[in-house]
Chains A and B, each alone.
Chain A
Amino acid sequence: MSSRDVALASAYESAASEKRRKWWQIRWAETVSPLVRAALMIVILSVVLLPIIYLLALSLKTPDQVLEGLFLPTKPTLRNWVNIFQNIPLALYIGNSAVAAISGSLITLVITIPAVYALSRIKIGRLLSGLVLGSYIAPPMVPLIPLFFLAKWSGLIHTLPGLIICYGLLNIPVALWLLTGFIERIPEEIEEAATIDGASVFRTLGQIVVPLMLPGIVSTGLICVILNYNEFLFAFFFTGNATRTLPIGIALFQGERLVDFGQMAVASLIGVLPIYLTAIFAQKWLVRGLTTGAGR
């Protein structure tokens, strides 16, 4: 017996010694406890949503109201919301971010899916996967300069394709970790049946494994899209005026003579809206994606 089994057994025994539940224990479990739980949940959610609601409040303030230091605006105004698209090319930023994020994610998937199959089913490339996962320890600064020079030589600097390729490469460790978790959940028997019937590896991959893994692929893809959309460091150096992405656009507000926090808040909220909507509608996929790692 392992030490864990011993622990479990002793837990059982002590729990079992309480033969009957006291009346107030039942009362607690049925009425008070749910209320306490709900109350706690509300407290937690208010902390979670606080900065976001604050940004909303900020977006309704004029610059002098921002200085007041209050939470809610004293005289809410929609001026920032109305003006924002005229003041900065927000649509361009969001467009660039979206294109870079989605394309980068697709590249990551195309590279990682076959690799995961090879790793998990054909059982080669253990060293490679170790290298990939280990490289995740390094700060993003490591590939920044070498890739910057590479982009310059190929003329891809300040273009979206250059940024997309970087995003495609950067998230491979994350995708590998997640997809490995997903593929291990799929029983091999179905594929073995196909192999015995004479299907080639590619057919097995394309017609059996990928469809089975689809939820996992979608989750991984979504997570990569979100990581790319919010990425700051590479976007800072690989984008120019026309290819600027959203996080850089928001950061630019900071350098002005008179920083307009209201406008900055609006830009942030509108910019983050696509991601929030994705999170809300695809939350099931996202949670599935994030949870595979824990089950290993």
Chain B
Amino acid sequence: MKSFAKTSFKSAAHCVSPNRRRVGALLLLPLIFAVLFFAVYPAAYLVLTSISKSTMGKPFISWVGLNNFVSALQSDFAWSLMRTALFAIPTSLVQLTVGIAIAVLLNAKMRFRTLWRTLLLLPLMSPPVMVGVAWKVMLHPTGGFVSRTLCQFAWLHTPSSFLGEMPWAILSIAAADTWQWTPFIVILVYAALQTVPAELEEAARIDGAGYLKILFAVQLPWLAPALIAIYLLKLILSFKTFDLVYVLTSGGPGVETSLSSYKIWKTLFQDFNLGMASAQTLLLCLIVTLITLPVTWWHRRIQRTASL
């Protein structure tokens, strides 16, 4: 780690005087205020409403202890947590793999690299609403060209509903999500590839190692900590997927694609059950933390071995 290396060269000026600390606190003041508004207050509100019976117009009607949590776990929400985990973990992995592949491709000497890079950014910049609508029309059984083209090539016999049947519905959401976020991973991995010491790559190449060998023997091992960090980030983002579900499938067919974020939204804005929605949100945060914990631990372990 960078800061790890720096501390061994500290000069006297690094010792923080009390005066500096006071100024430092002043600099942090805006952040402290902001945190109060967007983190502390909402978190307190969340916890309090989750143990109460609340609607938006009448918060804190009564205190119900853990009833909301129990109800949530007994309802479809528990399934949605599993669905969300089963969606987030594999899709992030696939996106990481594809991202690495494309980044490696981009990394090799090629012309118009800036052009490719620019075009690759576009899906990332698109509003999820726009992405959802484009995919929705494309995948429609009669109006979308995907179904029609597949029928023409006789891979499908009748126009098929991608968004209305499982497993295609969740796969379609995964496809749209991959389309939008893989460029993000490509950019990050590409940048990480630049940090691999050139001497190592040169040495390996001179000795006759081919691309694949260099990739697997030199580049990937070197980048392991960074790659895990990237995976972690995408994993957290995947758990929050909402826009695509809202536009593409509205959680259907039935509730098969109702990911947790979407379910919480429904509890809040269709049933107006604030207490339940808060409980559901806390459960989601809990699951995300539980799942990302092993990954974080693995990341720290790899980093430690790397800097020995």
Contact = CB atoms under 8 A, between A and B. Distances in A.
Contact of A283 (B121, B240, B285, B289): B121
Interface residues of B, number: 116
Contact of A295 (B11, B192, B265): B192
Interface in B204-249: 204, 207-211, 213, 217-218, 221-222, 224, 226, 229-230, 233, 236, 239-240, 242-243, 247
B191 A150 contact: no
Residue of B13, B30, B37, B130 with most chain A CB atoms under a 10 A cut-off: B130
Contacts, number: 319
A61 B106 CA distance: 35
Contacts of B236: 136-137
Interface in B1-48: 1-3, 6, 11, 13-14, 16, 20-21, 23-25, 27-28, 30-32, 34-35, 37-39, 41-43, 45-46
Interface stretch (A12-20, A76-84, A155-163, A210-218): A12-20
B204 A145 contact: no
A188 B191 contact: no
A189 B221 CA distance: 32
Contacts of A102: none
A250 B246 CA distance: 13
Main secondary structure of the interface of B (DSSP, over half): helix
Contact of A12 (B117, B204, B260): B204
Given A51-B123, A139-B261, A141-B281, 18 more contacts: A4-B222, A4-B224, A7-B217, A18-B209, A69-B140, A110-B30, A123-B16, A128-B31, A137-B292, A232-B243, A265-B134, A268-B134, A272-B127, A275-B125, A275-B126, A291-B191, A295-B192, A296-B229
Interface of A: 2-4, 7-8, 10-12, 14-16, 18-21, 25, 29, 33-34, 37-38, 40-41, 44-45, 47-49, 51-52, 54-55, 58, 66-71, 110-112, 114-115, 117-119, 122-125, 128, 131-132, 135-143, 145-147, 150, 168-170, 172, 184-185, 188-189, 192, 195-196, 200-202, 205, 226, 229-230, 232-233, 246-247, 250-251, 254, 261, 264-265, 268, 271-272, 275-276, 278-280, 283, 286-287, 290-296
